[in-house]
Amino acid sequence: MTQRAYVIDEMISAKSIAARVEALARDITGHFADTDKLVVVGLLRGSFVFIADLVRELDLPVEVDFLEASSYGDRLESSREVRIIKDLSGEIARRDVLVVEDIVDTGHTLLHVAQLLRARGPQRLEICALLDKPTRREVDVTATWTGFTIPDEFVVGYGIDYAQRDRNLPHIGKVRFV
């Protein structure tokens, strides 16, 4: 696929992200203080950098698992039809679960994943999303913790891609077509 030319304008610095992740981890640690072993579920692929930083700041026993849901492909718009491409490796029945997502946009992905996981009978299920674009929401779903609320811009970096590019940027930037 040929890519339209674009530049990336920094929106959230690596330093701001690190400070926010630390604060989120403190809240999450407090919330799950009495857990045996928290299952942290990262939604692939966009959450891989965030989950790596977040779990290292959690002062809790944790297990890490991943789930991949279908996404944008190479487009800028959500398909609204969510399919599970890779399921969890472990069981979550009667466990404390934290779902870690990169961005809540229309909300379809998170709603679908939350319904799927709740049906498996976890003891507690909470959601932590790094970014939230509330003005784009089409279904009713809210993360328990949100890193940053952002305007309706297409963003990349810190694990988040545009057509599989730019996941390795240390900051979050907005895509501007030129």
Q: Which are the catalytic amino acids? A: 105
DSSP H helices in the chain: 14-31, 48-57, 108-118
- Residue 166 binds ligand IMP (CB under 6 A): no
Site mask for ligand IMP (CB under 6 A), range 47-86, x = bound:
------------------------xx-----x--------
Instruction: Identify which of residues 9 and 91 has a Cβ nearer to ligand IMP in the complex.
Output: 9
- Residue 42 binds Mg ion (CB under 5 A): no
**Residue 131 to residue 144: CA distance in whole angstroms:** 12
Measured in whole angstroms, how far is the alpha carbon of residue 61 from the centre of its chain? 20
Question: Which residue type occupies 84?
Answer: I
Stretch of 2-10, 46-54, 135-143, 162-170 contacting Mg ion, by CB under 5 A: 46-54
Identified binder of ligand IMP from the candidate list 17, 24, 46, 51, rule CB under 6 A? 46
Identified binder of ligand IMP from the candidate list 39, 42, 66, 107, rule CB under 6 A? 107
Cβ 58 to Mg ion shortest distance, Å = 21
Instruction: Identify which of residues 29 and 78 has a Cβ nearer to Mg ion in the complex.
Output: 78
Contact between 125 and 114 (Cβ < 8 Å): yes
Instruction: Identify which of residues 95 and 108 has a Cβ nearer to ligand IMP in the complex.
Output: 108
**Residue 78 to residue 115: CA distance in whole angstroms:** 18
Residues in Cβ contact with 77 at an 8 Å cutoff, skipping those fewer than 6 apart: none
Contact between 80 and 106 (Cβ < 8 Å): yes
Which residues make up the interface to Mg ion (CB under 5 A)?
A: 46
